[in-house]
Amino acid sequence: MWIRLENEADASVVAAQLQGMGLWTRALEDASGCTTGFAVEPFSAAIDWQRLDQLDGVAEVQRPRSAHPRVDAQMGQEVVVGSVYFGAQNEPVLIAGPCAIESAEQVEAIAAVVAQAGAKVLRGGAYKPRSSPYSFSGHGQMALAWMRQAADRHGLAVVTEVMSEAEVDGVSAVADMLQIGSRNMQNFALLRSVGQRHKPVLLKRGVAATVEEWLLAGEHLLEAGASGVVFCERGISGFDPHTRNLLDLGAVALLTTAYKLPVVVDPSHAVGRRDLIPSLAQASLAVGANGLMIETHVDSSKALSDGAQALSPDTLSMLGFAQ
């Protein structure tokens, strides 16, 4: 942001006032060394733009234009997924389910558990991104049908990942909310194709994505036509292998508190171990998360993926969402 001074202004008086408001500024000088304005550092204290405009000696305040106007316009708005509402003043939403949809029986059993625990949305991968090409990568379209039937039987909405443009038709025919996985956050062709379905999207943060890159990915979706974007923090890459990833609750607080955007936290993929998930779930809600995404399994020792981070049905129901 830039402040332009009036010709007669006393720059030192204006500078002192800006400093008094907690702003970090750098003087802008003309060729003769005369201060004509100030650049204000972006991470200064929260800025009341209108007050700056009214200071004696200030001719004009120029704010940089946001690179993500559609995301900005979503501020304070709720994102609607069927009869479920994310963000604004709505209660936090529990999204739960297995890492992968393994069979019709597995998803039926877990859907019952998830509904009992107070979840409103069933999660589960039909198309699974796996680090190794030899790992189980999902049952595809068949799994989507099993998932839809189980969700309908238990009054749940469905969110599931779409990994490639080729899958967008099949997934959007079944899911209430489309999930963009962490590895695809900057797959712009996929974002465009998903956005064109005019559905709500759960946008996971890339493991090395800045908040700005994450918001810009949301802008791609909204620009293409998505009906709303819920941002999902699922841990970024850290340097310490003790936990799977590093849960960035600072970014969650920033998005929920300063930007008023709907955010869901996925502590399962963030830490990768079930014993830490309940406390991180609480911490996420404490910083204003509008929902949680939690992996669960009826028998995690037999899970085909991410068993170590799957909560038992009992622990899931102790998260505080059960009626």
- Which spans of this chain sit near Mn ion (rule: CB under 5 A)? 99, 306
CB of residue 296 vs Mn ion: minimum separation in angstroms? 11
Taking the complex as a whole, the smallest distance from the CB of residue 310 to Mn ion amounts, in Å, to: 8
Rounded distance, CA 311 to CA 300, Å?
A: 8
Q: Does 139 bind ligand PEP (CB under 6 A)?
A: no
Q: Verify binding: residue 129, ligand PEP, rule CB under 6 A.
A: yes
- The span from the CA of 57 to the CA of 61, in Å, is 11
Identity of the residue, 40 or 205, whose beta carbon is nearer to ligand PEP in the bound complex = 205
Phi, psi of 300 (to 5 degrees): -65, -20
Own/partner contacts of 307-311, CB < 8 Å, gap of 24 or more, are 307/99, 308/272, 308/273, 308/274, 309/99, 309/244, 309/268, 309/269, 309/271, 309/272, 309/273, 309/274, 309/277, 310/98, 310/99, 310/268, 310/274, 311/268, 311/274, 311/277, 311/278
> Hey, how many other C-beta atoms are within 10 angstroms of the C-beta on 75?
14
The only residue of 102, 161, 176, 219 in contact with ligand PEP, by rule CB under 6 A: 161
Work out whether 204 is an interface residue with ligand PEP (CB under 6 A). yes
Question: Toward ligand PEP, which CB reaches closer, 25 or 184?
Answer: 184
The token pair at 78 is 């709720």
Kindly determine how many residues on this chain lie close enough to bind ligand PEP according to the rule CB under 6 A: 9
Minimum separation from the CB atom of position 306 to Mn ion (A): 4
Residue 41: HSE in the Cβ half-sphere, 13 Å Cα cutoff: 11
Q: Closer to Mn ion at the Cβ: 193 or 305?
A: 305
| 140 touching ligand PEP, by CB under 6 A | no
Show the site string, 55-94: x = touches ligand PEP by CB under 6 A, - = not: ----------------------------------------
Smallest distance, ligand PEP to C-beta of residue 227, A: 21
Cβ nearer to Mn ion, comparing 183 with 260: 183
Tell me, residue by residue from 228 to 267, as one string, x for binding to ligand PEP by CB under 6 A and - for no binding: ------x---------------------------------
Q: Decide if residue 297 touches ligand PEP (CB under 6 A).
A: no
Please report how close the Cβ of residue 147 comes to ligand PEP at its closest, in angstroms. 13
Smallest gap from residue 150 Cβ to ligand PEP (A): 17
220 binds ligand PEP (CB under 6 A): no
CB of 8 to ligand PEP, least distance (A): 57
**With the C-alpha atoms ordered 16, 18, 24, 26, is the resulting torsion angle positive or negative?**
negative
Q: Is 125 in the site for ligand PEP (CB under 6 A)?
A: yes
Is residue 55 within 8 Å of 14, Cβ to Cβ? yes
Residue 100: CB minimum distance to Mn ion, A? 7
The one-letter amino acid code at 250 reads G
Exactly one of 97, 181, 200, 272 binds ligand PEP (CB under 6 A); which one? 181
Which residues in this chain contact ligand PEP in the complex, by CB under 6 A? 99, 125, 129, 161, 181-182, 204, 234, 269
